[in-house]
A and B are shown apart, each in its own frame.
Chain A
């Protein structure tokens, strides 16, 4: 086994994009919750595929098609291993977390959710885990029930969750790590509670997949959706894990080539899962890139990444707290790799625009969690989100810059 590579400053040379200046200053990229940067290894996997193996999968009889198919299916196995799934047959390639959730809502949801049924979601969901269910509810006459977020620190109200699960909603969808608070929800406990009441579970793993060890069997979830681009992989590719027996019972949601067994003029029969859910030529290069990213992140070690990111986020949290007029969101402890904040009287977009002038890339706004922001009484917040290539020196730049912005507006 090779020696563990150091994280932080010493790994930055594997990320070509980080070696640049923005507005004449060294780029400090702190928008990793939106998308992470890509290591050279993933970029090369994409170009190698196009330069050597490019072909369509599953139906060619020639050498290139065989290679492309082997690499595409190999990537499925790599993703399965990455999240502790028993086999690649439980992994559907999607465009990302959003499409994974839409797939569950449209396929599993259409078959299992009817008029009057409840769909339980939390108040800290991303729009991607709200709107697909609203669309389904409108179509079927189901209703959405909200598990409250409580207290200044933005934790899930576990007593309320227990009571709501006892009313037997059909499905409980929740975000593993909140992109706007940094809250880490107790996913295994939530899945166990849901299972006790026969409630299916869907975990939005967009923010957790690249940042912490994930084992869908240990979590005990029925579905988990993730995005490749938030874990060093390409954009436009993601994966949906589904429990094998559930996937097998689900109808197709998009029709076309690749997903059929036999097509007649009158009707068609479909391939088994996961192929039934992958109509048309898939994003072959993207899947291969995702598989490469999964191996890359795994080799670095997700426990170490988690610790590294937590240290940076915690340091940022403590030091930003010392700035006058600062309101920090999310839990004080046990937080994920991000810090969201609001400066009294200063709009998040002003903070982000001025930080950009200093070469510091932040995110500002409602972070696709408008209902939560309204509940917190905020128009939006600014957010710094970290990954394993960020350094303590970048936390210094962040704190310095936000301090300058505060003074600028107080002058």
Chain B
């Protein structure tokens, strides 16, 4: 795969017109996430009830890979039981890091970042926020999540 192939139609489509973008009323959990070195920012909001993700939205800005991944992620987890959504996160996470297949469906397009290590953190930003949200980060005051290493969140 060369890089332009990573930017498939489906990725560009989601990047240009992301699904579930905006502020979620009555969110039960809010997780800001950012990659400081590239400036990508995603704030993910979930409304969770009865261990089910009733609704999910995100705000923020980032590169096409980051935005498309956030858009696809929200579409994939909306309406799912938390346990099932958590398993989906694990599968995507492992797959982009070279272990196992991507889930079927449009999300599979994200798997292309495997061959571009520098872009894995772009693809995983919203997913990391989602992982944090499932662990129940407190509403509105969640810690900032990043997919960069080492943790660059020291306050200056």
Q: Which of B2, B12, B39 contacts A366 (CB 8 A)?
A: B39
Whether a CB of chain B sits under 8 angstroms from the CB of A300 is: no
Pick the most buried of A356, A357, A364, A379: most chain B CB atoms within 10 A of its CB: A379
Which of the candidate stretches A41-49, A153-161, A238-246, A345-353 sits at the interface with the other chain?
A: A345-353
Say whether A354 contacts B39, CB under 8 Å: no
Say whether B7 contacts A408, CB under 8 Å: yes
Q: Which of A357, A379, A408 contacts B61 (CB 8 A)?
A: A379
Decide: A349 near B2, CB < 8 A? Known: A380-B39, A409-B12: no
- Shortest distance from the beta carbon of B4 to any chain A beta carbon, whole Å: 7
What is the size, in residues, of chain B's interface with A at 8 Å between Cβ atoms?
A: 23
Say whether B63 contacts A349, CB under 8 Å: yes
Whether a CB of chain B sits under 8 angstroms from the CB of A192 is: no
Decide: A349 near B122, CB < 8 A? Known: A366-B39, A373-B39: yes
CB-CB contacts below 8 Å: A110-157 with B: 131, 134-135
CB-CB contacts below 8 Å: A303-353 with B: 345-350, 353
Taken together as a complex, chains A and B put the C-alpha atoms of A134 and B154 apart, in Å, by: 14
Say whether B64 contacts A350, CB under 8 Å: yes
Say whether A347 contacts B4, CB under 8 Å: no
Decide: A408 near B39, CB < 8 A? Known: A347-B62, A379-B61: no
Taken together as a complex, chains A and B put the C-alpha atoms of A354 and B7 apart, in Å, by: 10
Encode B29-42 as 1/0 by CB contact (under 8 A) with A: 00000000111110
Say whether B3 contacts A357, CB under 8 Å: yes
Taken together as a complex, chains A and B put the C-alpha atoms of A156 and B64 apart, in Å, by: 33
Whether a CB of chain A sits under 8 angstroms from the CB of B119 is: yes
User: Which residue on chain B has the smallest CB distance to residue A135?
Assistant: B156
Say whether B64 contacts A347, CB under 8 Å: yes
Contacts of A370 in B (CB 8 A): 39
Encode B103-126 as 1/0 by CB contact (under 8 A) with A: 000000000000010110010000
A interface majority secondary structure = helix
Whether a CB of chain B sits under 8 angstroms from the CB of A88 is: no
Whether a CB of chain B sits under 8 angstroms from the CB of A365 is: yes
Q: Which of B2, B39, B41, B63 contacts A350 (CB 8 A)?
A: B63
Say whether B4 contacts A357, CB under 8 Å: yes
Encode B3-20 as 1/0 by CB contact (under 8 A) with A: 110010000100010000
- Shortest distance from the beta carbon of B7 to any chain A beta carbon, whole Å: 7
- Shortest distance from the beta carbon of B23 to any chain A beta carbon, whole Å: 19
Contacts of A380 in B (CB 8 A): 38-39
Encode A350-374 as 1/0 by CB contact (under 8 A) with B: 1001101100000011100010010
Decide: A349 near B4, CB < 8 A? Known: A379-B61, A379-B62, A409-B12: no
Encode B66-95 as 1/0 by CB contact (under 8 A) with A: 110000000000000000000000000000
Contacts of B7 in A (CB 8 A): 350, 354, 408
Taken together as a complex, chains A and B put the C-alpha atoms of A354 and B116 apart, in Å, by: 12
Decide: A365 near B37, CB < 8 A? Known: A345-B16, A353-B119, A408-B4: yes
Contacts of B40 in A (CB 8 A): 347, 379
Decide: A365 near B39, CB < 8 A? Known: A349-B63, A350-B64: yes
- Shortest distance from the beta carbon of B32 to any chain A beta carbon, whole Å: 15
- Shortest distance from the beta carbon of A344 to any chain B beta carbon, whole Å: 12
- Shortest distance from the beta carbon of A408 to any chain B beta carbon, whole Å: 7
Contacts of A366 in B (CB 8 A): 39
Contacts of B4 in A (CB 8 A): 354, 357, 408
- Shortest distance from the beta carbon of B16 to any chain A beta carbon, whole Å: 7
Taken together as a complex, chains A and B put the C-alpha atoms of A335 and B62 apart, in Å, by: 29
User: Which residue on chain A has the smallest CB distance to residue B9?
Assistant: A411
Taken together as a complex, chains A and B put the C-alpha atoms of A359 and B37 apart, in Å, by: 23
Encode A291-303 as 1/0 by CB contact (under 8 A) with B: 0000000000000
Say whether A349 contacts B38, CB under 8 Å: yes
- Shortest distance from the beta carbon of A261 to any chain B beta carbon, whole Å: 36
Say whether A357 contacts B2, CB under 8 Å: yes
Contacts of B66 in A (CB 8 A): 347
Decide: A134 near B156, CB < 8 A? Known: A347-B64, A350-B64, A357-B2: yes
Contacts of B118 in A (CB 8 A): 353
User: Which residue on chain B has the smallest CB distance to residue A364?
Assistant: B38
Say whether B38 contacts A365, CB under 8 Å: yes
- Shortest distance from the beta carbon of A355 to any chain B beta carbon, whole Å: 10
Contacts of A411 in B (CB 8 A): 12
Binding site for B on A (CB under 8 A): 131, 134-135, 345-350, 353-354, 356-357, 364-366, 370, 373, 379-380, 408-409, 411
In the complex, given contacts A365-B39, A408-B7, what are 6 additional A-B residue pairs having Cβ atoms less than 8 angstroms apart?
Answer: A347-B61, A347-B67, A349-B38, A379-B39, A379-B40, A408-B4
Q: List 29 A-B contacts (CB under 8 A).
A: A131-B156, A345-B16, A346-B64, A347-B40, A347-B62, A347-B63, A347-B66, A347-B67, A348-B63, A349-B38, A349-B63, A353-B118, A354-B3, A354-B4, A357-B2, A357-B3, A365-B37, A373-B39, A379-B39, A379-B40, A379-B41, A379-B61, A380-B38, A380-B39, A408-B4, A408-B7, A409-B12, A409-B16, A411-B12
